[in-house]
Amino acid sequence: MKDIDFERSEIVVREGKGNKDRVTMLPRRLHVLLRAQIAKARAMYEADLALGQGEVWLPDALAVKNPKAPKSGVWQYVFPAAGFSADPRSGVVRRHHTDEKRMHRAVKAAERVGIAKPVSPHTLRHSVAIHPSAKRLRHSNRAGTPGPLRRVHDYVYTHVLNRGGHGVWSPLDAG
């Protein structure tokens, strides 16, 4: 939960592609829905605490440095799993985040509602990339961009860099 910043309309994505942390936009249109999801996750967390649970996995150094952090509300998942399971690293039974396969299946469901093109989480990432968001996606090398598109990339990168983080907007917030 601590990785969502409504004021700046940003989300920190931890250990994404290349095991890097990234900051991405949070469309203002999703604030109400995301706040409702956070309320559901907090209610689940409170119920877990009442059962003597409510602890999440944290990297070893962080868990050792602050032993109370795993049960802190700010470290809870926004999309927690429906039930408890044994942590494969330690054997501790706790609630984990929603499985990424489940999220992938939910995105793929778009095809069943009439979207003619293949849809995946990766497709969504690329659909955002066509907007001036190269800075947020943290592309480390523009050399992979073919021919004339490189000039467009140069413009987009310069435009985004000159405007700072709030120079990037979400396609969901347009119109």
Number of structural domains in the chain: 1
* pLDDT exceeds 90 at position 38: yes
| Stronger pLDDT, 44 or 110, i.e. the higher one | 44
Helix (H, G, I), strand (E, B) or coil at 98: coil
**pTM to 2 decimal places:** 0.69
How many angstroms separate the CA atoms of 138 and 175, rounded?
26
Is 103 a member of any domain? no
Write out the residue range of the structural domain in which residue 155 sits. 130-175
Please give the mean pLDDT across all residues of the chain: 78
* pLDDT exceeds 80 at position 98: yes
How many angstroms separate the CA atoms of 21 and 2, rounded?
14
CB-based burial label for 19 (10 Å; 0-12, 13-18, 19+): exposed
Distances in Å between the alpha carbon of 93 and those of 41, 49, 73, 88, 172?
18, 13, 18, 9, 38
Is 117 a member of any domain? no
Is 73 a member of any domain? no
Is 34 a member of any domain? no
Is 141 a member of any domain? yes
Is 60 a member of any domain? no
